Structure 1
């Protein structure tokens, strides 16, 4: 029998087995029997009487998918204003709902960014203009990461289900970076903000926890003019100001990376003075460096980040959270091994030249995507199990 038995124009039994089963074959004129709404065979009558009614009510569909309600009651006919609509009316209404749902999805994703900006903005202090500018740099890093890629099931860090529409796939609002207030009562006046995101190529999940003390910031702000005046009197660049910022420690951060079993592993990373005087400068730089973790780890000084990175990126690959191919994953691992050995045995200029060659190759997203890198010496593979090659 046709699947579209509810189409206008009638029912058409095309199965000889069905007609034979119910004893309804050709009519008196030896013509094949065709069912209409007024004259249905026993088979079509039974199918029509037992046909399950699928309610079009979007609220019921959303509640059922979210688990907030039990199974929708099966009925034999129209049960709400949506089910009473004609096919043309329903399709027009459904199209409108799909457009509204897409607007809602985009609005939710935009709100993720707006909420994150507001949380970071709460770390500002009216008496510390330079600090406030460093927080603006953090907001710029957040925005750059947020806009760096289209969020999907693989790279997203936060997901919300959007209202469902009958006979259409579920739609999600996603974000590749998430900012949350994680302050608790026992934090004794501190404000804590957690920023979670993935390495853009590695898929490794990182969390940067910012710890801000409004009281200490107020203490520094109360005498910042005196500190700046004294700072200008000393030949050492910003030595006085740097000392007071370090003494107050009004803003600090901690970095974690997901371990093999999903736990948070602490990373001892300090970008140092090269990234700026104010601690917010370091946070802004850190966000961008970790988002591009595989490239950042190519820097000779980033030995802490390199430690455990090959293992963490392999786990991200196995969990389906990495965009890397296995060959490109191995290319990075070999590069890290080569840089690590070079820093302990080669002059600085030679190390920098090696790093420059490696960066140039790996900057091509297609490099080592389909096969092993040609520049690598795999001699160690002949003697031992995989220990990595060497970049030539």
Structure 2
């Protein structure tokens, strides 16, 4: 039986998911349009506007933190005695499969079909088809490596891996184990990344390093944030002081993001090596993001205006389709649309066109497919409970 608390009571988190998807979209468009520095000279210092786009890949970390926060809440509430039992695994996995696979399979079929139509052959090797169906985009030989049809698919098996790991950790999701959990998540991440840098060829480090063990800092921050929210807000332990501290932390989040982005902008060439930034940047970024997640969950002043307004909220509702579709749409627009004939810097036009077309496809995916499947699975699992 589920707790009375539901994700729908946290609309700011839905909007935050949409912001994360937009960050990834703008990052890919900025790269496709030939990356360039966008600097505004303001007296004695420069505003390096391009970091808003060049570091848009960090939207993936936002999605990992947010996913871990929302998925771990029911398990944490059960461990805290706030619901009769933990989520049924059959229901849990049914919902996860319904959320991820249908939209992916439709896109996979469409991209394969277009490939056959345009070139009279499959755009991937037939021997790889099963791996695509299973989302095996892990490094070779375990998977196919970076997916040829849609580059953003590489994150999907990492998310799926966390779905399987989370129930195994359910017994540890208690407030008194928070330090043990934090040490576990950060320790595994550090050991994995250290091993990858030492054992893997430099050109393969990125894909290996970001597999689930190397991304447990982001997922872990989401889990720890969920523990804190349940303990301090939903159970009310020290709630007044917690909200005051959280409000102060939220005020500090923006300058903290600016400092991290400036650091990455100056040291990005050292990333993917045994460097301080490689081991510490994503944990710090994920910790700050966890503050924003907690603020949205607690509905602090200002978060609703930023993340729960109609436009941003709808981006969040359709964010999975926006995430899936923006990359192939961007490639097509840049190569075959009127944008291909434009002179000068293509980024503004390509970003606008990619967003409009991708949002249209994402809306179709949500209203005609995703919401229908999710609703059907939800009705079936509730009837079986």
Give the alignment's TM-score, normalised by structure 1.
0.20
Q: Which has the higher contact order (CA 8 A, sep 6+)?
A: 2
Structure with greater helix percent: 2
Give the alignment's TM-score, normalised by structure 2.
0.20
